[in-house]
Chain A
Amino acid sequence: GAGVSQTPSNKVTEKGKYVELRCDPISGHTALYWYRQSLGQGPEFLIYFQGTGAADDSGLPNDRFFAVRPEGSVSTLKIQRTERGDSAVYLCASSRSFTGELFFGEGSRLTVL
């Protein structure tokens, strides 16, 4: 696609529910990143994929968070048993290579009531 696409744009859910956020990177980009941006903060790294494998998942806050990229293109960030503290904008970015410029999507705003 022309740019990084993220769906849904906004998601409101109740505490304890399961949520999936989708990222469709730029075609041909092998590297994919997830970041979380809490209100009034800069984005914080969650996980990095190179191809299908998670090369660095050191930013995932706990085991309720999980991400997959089964075919090396689209990625899904999965959050189990959501908590109010999970409310944030989740940003996805992709790059052509490991050292390439990152291109960001417009994010998914998650609100946990």
Chain B
Amino acid sequence: AQTVTQSQPEMSVQEAETVTLSCTYDTSESDYYLFWYKQPPSRQMILVIRQEAYKQQNATENRFSVNFQKAAKSFSLKISDSQLGDAAMYFCAYRPIGGATNKLIFGTGTLLAVQP
């Protein structure tokens, strides 16, 4: 069974600094997607960044980038120039490619605090 592990329940960063959130996963599949979602107090899950496993290049979206290590099954999120609005729960998620469903498997989340 596929699993996603986030070992950091809470993290804190100073405004304008850089923080890295960790995620590891377990799967026997060779093709899949990995995601980072942000969940603010409004509860709505917002997609931050997505990585296709077959792509060697790490995905980037403005201040957000990932370090994808396929062999190590590691998928960390780096937030540069942290802003107060980045404070939220962050969830790492896995989704297989193919098969009969499109369901996401989430980790337990990391609560990020941004200090002014």
Task: List residues of A whose CB falls within 8 A of some B CB.
Answer: 31, 33, 35, 40-45, 48, 55-56, 58-59, 89, 91, 93, 95, 98-99, 101-102, 104-107, 109
Contacts and interface: CB of A to CB of B under 8 A. Distances in A.
A45 B101 CA distance: 11
Contacts of B47: 101-102
Contact of B104 (A31, A43, A56, A109): A43
Contact of A41 (B42, B97, B108): B108
A106 B109 contact: no
B103 A104 contact: no
A88 B93 CA distance: 19
21 contacts: A33-B103, A35-B104, A42-B106, A42-B108, A43-B45, A43-B106, A45-B104, A48-B101, A48-B102, A55-B101, A89-B43, A91-B43, A93-B45, A98-B102, A102-B47, A102-B102, A102-B104, A104-B45, A106-B42, A106-B43, A107-B44
Contacts of B101: 48, 55-56, 58
Contacts of A98: 102
Interface in B85-116: 91, 93, 97, 100-109
B100 A104 contact: no
Contacts of B100: 55-56
Interface string B29-68: 0000000000000111111001000000000000000000
